[in-house]
């Protein structure tokens, strides 16, 4: 891989990739040095750096104040490119809004099963109650069947998310690659679970570099151990100038 930062576009998942996964979604902690690392890389890449997450853009912005990186939230339902923000309006999803209320009622008696309302999507978490996995999966599947073909289930680590069928990390990465400063660059996408596999597929199709964090079956070409390992790699790239991800390390 040639050391030519200007030829690459960097896309980064958030949970389980830039930060460690925690038991409760709202308890996530961003490493104190990460914003500076990302800012330095953004400058080296001529602005071609974006966070691609299932989280809402508003949530992510709150973790990186005062920085406002390019990003896609809710698996691409909302995104910001070059300061131009396109948001998803929950009002446009009345059936989903009604389903969120119904899901809260269904899991009310299941301690440790959490409903995360993201506005235009909803996630069913069972990390705090692993014995409720089958119940949570069945609940999410029944909900998406009731909503019809406009919605689908996206599986992740101890989570099943119900979101519009049009959403997907691969699709939104493709969108970024058609706009400046990403257009014409070789993409790098780093993620950690099933929600990132269609992003890896898109990046592989563009001759890019796909990086999986942690264990698990994947189509990614490179694997790193933990978010801490990734932060070290990114820091090396940002401050020492050496492009990482040439193998299963940096």
What token pair was written down for 21?
Answer: 């996964």
Looking at residue 103, the DSSP 8-state letter turns out to be H
Name every residue whose Cβ is closer than 8 Å to that of residue 112 and which is 6 or more positions away in sequence.
Answer: 126, 128, 129, 132
- Of 38, 35, 86, which Cα lies nearest the Cα of 62? 35
Residues 242 and 44: beta-carbon distance below 8 Å: no
Dihedral class, residue 159 (left if φ above 0, else alpha if ψ from -120 to 50, else beta): beta
Residue with tokens 């919605």: 151
In the three-class reduction of DSSP (H, G, I as helix; E, B as strand; rest coil), residue 11 is classed as strand
Annotated catalytic residue within 13, 61, 192, 193: 13
Report H helices in 69-115: 94-107
5 catalytic residue (yes or no): no
Residues forming the active site? 13
């Amino acid at each position: 891989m040639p050391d030519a930062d200007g030829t690459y576009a960097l896309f980064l998942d958030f949970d389980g990739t830039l930060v460690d996964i925690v038991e409760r979604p709202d308890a996530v902690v961003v490493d104190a040095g990460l914003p500076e690392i990302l800012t330095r890389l953004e400058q080296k890449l001529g602005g071609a750096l974006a966070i691609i997450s299932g989280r809402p853009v508003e949530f992510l912005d709150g973790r990186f104040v005062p920085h406002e990186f390019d990003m896609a939230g809710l698996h691409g339902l909302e995104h910001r490119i070059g300061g131009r923000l396109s948001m998803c309006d929950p009002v446009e999803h009345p059936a989903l809004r009604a389903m969120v209320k119904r899901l809260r009622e269904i899991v009310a008696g299941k301690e440790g099963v959490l409903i995360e309302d993201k506005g235009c999507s909803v996630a069913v978490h069972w990390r705090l109650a692993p014995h409720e996995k089958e119940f949570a999966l069945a609940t999410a599947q029944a909900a998406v069947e009731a909503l019809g073909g406009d919605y689908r289930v996206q599986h992740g680590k101890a989570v099943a998310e119900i979101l519009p069928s049009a959403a997907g990390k691969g699709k939104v990465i493709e969108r970024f690659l058609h706009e400046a400063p990403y257009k014409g660059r070789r993409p790098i996408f780093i993620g950690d679970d099933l929600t990132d596999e269609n992003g890896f597929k898109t990046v592989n199709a563009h001759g890019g570099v796909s990086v999986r964090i942690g264990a698990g079956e994947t189509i990614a070409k490179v694997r790193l151990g933990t978010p801490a390992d990734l932060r070290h790699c990114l820091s090396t790239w940002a401050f020492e100038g050496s492009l990482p991800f040439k193998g299963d390390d940096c």
